[in-house]
Structure 1
Amino acid sequence: MTSTGRYRKVWYCIRESGEAALAQLIATQENFPPQQQEFLAEAILRLDSEKVSSCGIFYLQAAYWKNRRNSAQAQ
């Protein structure tokens, strides 16, 4: 594995999608749009836990739980 190898591209895709969602959820008090919620769900559901070994999944999980918390607080 190198810093420019195939694994890095996969790792970045997972991490960056989670980071983007989490940043949106942290930075604003507005609702997370339904389309963004769908994108987040798709990003989580497409993961193959048998093959993913990067920390990127934690960003997706954090975004999921932050969205759940924001939704519960809004009600």
Structure 2
Amino acid sequence: MEWREGVPRWVQIADELERRIRAGVYPPGSRVPSVLALMDEFGVASATAHKALAGLRTRGLTYTEPGIGSTVRKP
């Protein structure tokens, strides 16, 4: 993924995950990648990955259960 200048990385990661959710890569009821997986895939710090997942929750696309992870909401 090429980073867009002037846009925070966590926003760009959240945008990419939203694109994948809408494309059906992560269908409703499935889990999105963990913080560790996002750190590995995108080469970012844990705080950046956490913010990206929080961004998905704010957008209403996922919910998070402690100890389980982030799950895609059903439409």
The two structures have a TM-score, normalised by structure 1, of: 0.39
When you count helix as a share of all residues, which structure comes out higher? 1
Higher relative contact order (CA 8 A, sep 6+): 1
When you count strand as a share of all residues, which structure comes out higher? 2
Q: Which has the larger radius of gyration?
A: 1
